[in-house]
Amino acid sequence: MRRYLLTVTLLVVAGIAAGVGMRIEDGHAGPSRAVRSGEPGVSEFDFGATFPGQRLVHTFVLGGLHNRIRCRFVSVTTSCGCTSAEITPHALVPGKAVKLIVHVETKYWPGPELVLVRAVGVAGKRRLNYIFRVLYDTRRVISIAGNPVYLNLGNLQAGQPRRQVFFDAARGRNPMKWDSLTCTSTDRSLAINLVPLAQRRWRLGLCLKRANILGSTAFPLEFRFWWHGRPCPYLLGQLVTADVRGPITACPNALLIGAVKAGSTAGFRIRIVSPTGGVPAHTTLVGVHVTDPKRMSATIGSIAGVPCVNLRYIAALPVGRNKGAITIAAEVSGKRFLLHVDYLAMIRNGG
């Protein structure tokens, strides 16, 4: 039950053109001073409304029959890592043109965005700067009332009857063509009920089939979109969170190891206690599992009558952030529960 963010992106091709050096298929052009003479200036293109993770392409044309500039382009840079650009050919000569091809992958959070592309040319001892402004506005494919990142089922009590939590969803103002959607999860412990309503709205009902995994957990949710019975090449990932409370709890319920030197070791202990912090009654630990046995080892023990899990962490290479989880299986009065504890460490070089 880890965080999933599954996305499939759609390629939208835009062209190029005359006049101010741009041809528009999707979007529209703004003011431009990079005219056909090839003189340095600013060009702009606006893709308009887009959806998250959409891949876009636009080509700017610099120069042409009236170009009087001769230069060699030495660099092309962008203001965002989600954008790349290339110029071809690398030399601008009188009477000819060059093309600057810009590839954009739109951001996943909604709102307008501006990306700057800068091409630098050299003409003798003169440096020529060409600025290209690319704009777009990310729109949600669907909008769900509440937190746009996490759908929270709230606090649940282990052993109580299943409780369904409802969320209202509506179609977002985005340009993607779709007429229906489905909702599924790779986690079988999550029950899903998606009911279509009028005026492009849906009611989403969620509940846990089994609530024996104690603590704060996350479940992956996937929305698939369809157009005339065919799946669209876009998948929206959403997280569902829940806090399940029971007769026992892990202390601590999350482990921040912090910065550790590569090759060093550190020891930790997780105690299994009652919700009030006392010794749990009729509790036996029956197993423990770690996601990264190369770095983390675990044994079952007890201290002053309190069941515990003894951990040994080895800061093995490579350096950087290392995260994982420990799952503890326990029986309380014959009923089995699972406790989930995440850990995070930052492995650094020695010295």
Q: Are residues 219 and 165 in the same domain?
A: yes
Q: Are residues 209 and 119 in the same domain?
A: no
Q: Are residues 178 and 238 in the same domain?
A: yes
Q: What is the pLDDT of residues 207-241, one digit of tens each?
A: 988 777 888 888 889 999 999 999 987 788 888 98
- Percent above pLDDT 70 for the chain: 87
Q: Assess if residue 4 is contained within a domain.
A: no
If you compute the radius of gyration of the chain from its CA atoms, what whole number of angstroms results?
A: 28
Task: Please tell me the chain's helix, strand, coil percentages from 3-state DSSP, rounded to the nearest 5.
Answer: 0, 60, 40
C-alpha–C-alpha distance, residues 253 and 237, integer Å? 26
Q: Assess if residue 258 is contained within a domain.
A: yes
C-alpha–C-alpha distance, residues 201 and 174, integer Å? 15
Provide the CATH number for the domain around residue 90. 2.60.40.10
Instruction: Please provide the average confidence, as pLDDT, over all residues in the chain.
Output: 84
Domains held by the chain: number: 3
Question: 226: helix, coil or strand?
Answer: strand
Structure pTM? Answer: 0.60
From the list 44, 48, 52, 43, the residue with the least C-alpha distance to 136 is 48
Q: What is the pLDDT of residues 93-125, one digit of tens each?
A: 998 899 999 999 988 777 899 999 999 999 988
Q: Assess if residue 84 is contained within a domain.
A: yes
Q: Are residues 89 and 162 in the same domain?
A: no
C-alpha–C-alpha distance, residues 293 and 289, integer Å? 9
- Take residue 82 and report the two structure tokens written for it: 């989600």
C-alpha–C-alpha distance, residues 176 and 26, integer Å? 13
- Take residue 201 and report the two structure tokens written for it: 């709205």
Q: Assess if residue 269 is contained within a domain.
A: yes
Cα distances (angstroms) measured from residue 278 to each of 83, 122, 268, 273, 304? 55, 74, 20, 6, 11
Tell which of 117, 138, 159 closes a domain.
Answer: 138
Tell which of 138, 171, 192 closes a domain.
Answer: 138
Distance of CA 239 to the CA centre of its chain: 11
Q: Are residues 25 and 83 in the same domain?
A: yes
C-alpha–C-alpha distance, residues 156 and 169, integer Å? 23
Q: What pLDDT score does 1 carry?
A: 38
Q: Assess if residue 255 is contained within a domain.
A: yes
Q: Are residues 190 and 278 in the same domain?
A: no
Q: Which domain holds residue 35?
A: 11-138
Residues 288, 290, 294, 296, Cα dihedral to 10° = -80
Tell which of 105, 138, 171 closes a domain.
Answer: 138
